[in-house]
Chain A
Amino acid sequence: MNDFVLVRKNLFRRKLRAVLMIASILVAFMIFGVLAAFYTAFTANEDRSAADRLVTVNKINFTQPLPIAYYNRVRAVQGVRQVTHANWFGGYYQDPKNVLIAMAVEPETYTEIFSRDFDFPAEMRQAFMRDRTGALVGEAMARKWGWKVGDHVPIQSNIFTQHSGSRTWDMTIVGIFKPQSGQQVDTNLMFFQYAYLDETRSFGKDTIGWLVLKTAAPSENDSVSKTVDAMFVNSIAETSTDTEKAFNKAFAAQFGNIALIVVLVVGAAFVTILMIVGNTMALTIRERTREIGVLKTLGFPGGRILRLVLGESVLLALLGGIPGLLLAWLITSTLRQSVANMLPGLTLTAVIVAEGLGLMLALGLITGIIPALNAMQLKIAAALGRG
């Protein structure tokens, strides 16, 4: 009988207890994996935004409109390479619950600036610019609704109405785009021509939602944003220009302390489970004091007993932890599509897996070390005397 068999037999001596402990560790590491993946995606989101992109919104709030005239005025600013604009449409398909992320954009410049994120082939861009009612649909959205190029789809808005009173815009899908290779971006969104919206809507004519600026270099960001905001001081619509990164970060912060509370509570849950398991583990070893005395009587050296006990607690941690991380991987893979709007790129990265494995080892060693040391130093007579 080698040591591993001994360790295994020891661990599963009380089957129910072992299974429960493994289940608890599994849950703890599943929580850890999912939470860490969310956290990583959340922070990576900021890093991914292009360093040379600025967003100009109405200073009152980003939901307030800007005059379309700002588009041409901002183009002329020194250090601005390209400008485009977009307008939130509040789209839905058939039922108000089927929310569509739809934006009315300036076709040529938008597809140029966002070609960093999405793959817009030249023919697709041409078709989009040519067809006034044309729409570009992301591959995820097209898959969700079963749309193909050439389909005519009625898209409704929960904000706008047409002059006729109708709130349905008929659009033709002229292209289905994918993420640019190597980019983790969500494609559950669609774009259509601003001109189509502006000519038909019953109010809000000649206004846009926000501007996206591409600067000549990130070093120009500061001066460009100051110049742009200064241009519109004391006008009807003052502006606030920030890097895309800062803008996204501020938006995410709006969900506020709820996210923080969830992280704290879930973190507390993780620690609690580990505490329970650690305590149980320590007790399990204590229960076997007499047996360890017997092993010593048989001539097992202290070092080997130390290894046996530590091996048992590490094995327990790994048996629970590895499937836990696997489950976390399954969960994040399933959630990836549905949370992609808010949190693109949700994955269990290699770093998280490595951290998880490190934590498992730490858990096994910490919960095992005190009982193991005690067992190693145990005097045979004392051990056999104890119950």
Chain B
Amino acid sequence: MRSLLLQVAAVTTINLKSISQRLWLSLSTVVAIALVVVVLLAFLAMANGFKRTIEGSGADDIGIVLRGGSQAEVNSTITREQVRLIEDGPGIARRADGKALVSAELYLVVDGIKRTTGTKANLPLRGIGEQGAALRKGITITAGRMFNRGSNEIVIGKGLAREFTGLEIGSAVGFGTTRWTVVGVFEADGSVFESEIWGDLPVVQSLFNRNNYFQTVRVRLASPAALDALKSYNDGDARLKLDVKSENAYFADQSSQTSDLIQKLGWPLAIAMAFGALAGALNTMYSSVAARATEIATLRAIGFGGFSAFVGTLAESLALAAIGGVLGAAATYLAFDGLTASTLGGNFTQVVFNFKLSPALIGEGVTLALIVGLIGGLFPALRAARMPIVAGLYA
């Protein structure tokens, strides 16, 4: 047993050291595998970044109330009476003075100008109540200040400030005939709220002619489990009959379609490309076996087994694939990680997000590379193991 291991170790070392003799060929295989990994990881990082931005926006102790069947905030409508009924509902956390931690909000779509293309794109303008900011995680003003209640001032999410033009602090923005002043930029833990514009609810309502209309109500739940109490209260009142969900569940629905689509593009493409890389890998390894034919035969002649030749060749292939996989992951990280992109999200407005690689994704990429290396090394390795000694010595 020990001698077998020693044989394998010796042949593997010879194989790996001989890679430099076939430098260009080996390099082309490494590059091919690396490119496959880059394509796969670029797509997965895009899907992952989009998903994280949307799903990271929700909390399980925040309830969101929408008009039944409306699915997205932009479609929903809720009346003032319904808002009042929800405020009186069970399961809602309250301040010391008994006031419910509830924010009725208005969600409108306005035009902004994209920096990259100079074209118009849909931006969400959210009118938030007194408690609006407190019902979201990690809201901090990073520049300027919060809008003043009762004035036509707005604050801009960090993502929009980066991707859209004309929203600098101090600039005046016109939505139709209404004029607004940008007074601050806010951060929201990298969530989808960083792609929004916020203003004071009553001001937005009156300037957009939507007095007494709301679109969603967000509530701070006493505990995540309190959602059920609020749900049954809602279902039992004919005046409500609204959709009550946890913010988590709401955002999970919102992200699934787009990120699924991106993933469904990425995997087949990467697998298709892997076939190309496989052709390259097989080629390299067959050449390796051919080039070392005399060497393998000599080793066999002095008593080395076929198994060690098999393992040596396979190890060489796997090593090349691993280098390719790691290079590909590193290249993706350098070129794509943190790259900002924006697209239309579930609310028919722009969502700004960053490409995000994760260790799990890198694992998937390297695994694909190793599979290519394994298959690409297997057949040449079998040939190496079965090579007749005499033929090898004459080659």
Contact = CB atoms under 8 A, between A and B. Distances in A.
B25 interface: yes
Contact of A283 (B77, B273, B287, B342): B287
Contact of B287 (A250, A257, A262, A287): A287
A280 B341 contact: no
Contacts of A386: none
Interface residues of B, number: 60
Contact of B344 (A21, A30, A254, A269): A254
A134 B261 CA distance: 36
Q: Which of B25, B283, B348 has the most CB of A within 10 A?
A: B283
Nearest to A264: B42
Contact of A167 (B69, B74, B116, B122): B69
Interface string A19-42: 011011001101100000000000
A266 B269 contact: yes
Max count, chain B CB within 10 A of own CB: residue among A27, A61, A265, A269: A61
A59 interface: yes
Task: From B71, B116, B279, name the one whose CB has the most chain A CB atoms within 10 angstroms.
Answer: B279
Interface in B239-276: 241, 262, 265, 269, 272-273, 275-276
Contacts of A31: 269, 272
Contacts of A28: 276
Nearest to A95: B69
Interface string A155-174: 01011010001010000000
Majority secondary structure of chain A interface residues (helix, strand, loop or mixed): helix
B111 A60 contact: yes
Contacts of A165: 241
Contact of A63 (B70, B71, B74, B269): B74
A-B pairs, 6 with minimum CB distance: A24-B276, A20-B279, A27-B272, A60-B176, A273-B276, A258-B343
Given A20-B282, A60-B111, A167-B69, 13 more contacts: A24-B279, A28-B276, A61-B122, A90-B75, A161-B67, A203-B77, A237-B176, A256-B342, A256-B343, A262-B265, A269-B272, A272-B273, A279-B28
20 contacts: A17-B282, A17-B286, A20-B278, A21-B279, A24-B276, A60-B110, A64-B108, A92-B69, A161-B77, A236-B209, A256-B121, A257-B341, A258-B343, A261-B46, A268-B39, A272-B35, A279-B28, A280-B279, A284-B283, A287-B287
Interface of A: 14, 16-17, 20-21, 23-24, 27-28, 30-31, 58-61, 63-64, 90, 92, 96, 156, 158-159, 161, 165, 167, 203, 234-238, 250, 253-258, 261-262, 265-266, 268-269, 272-273, 275-277, 279-280, 283-284, 287
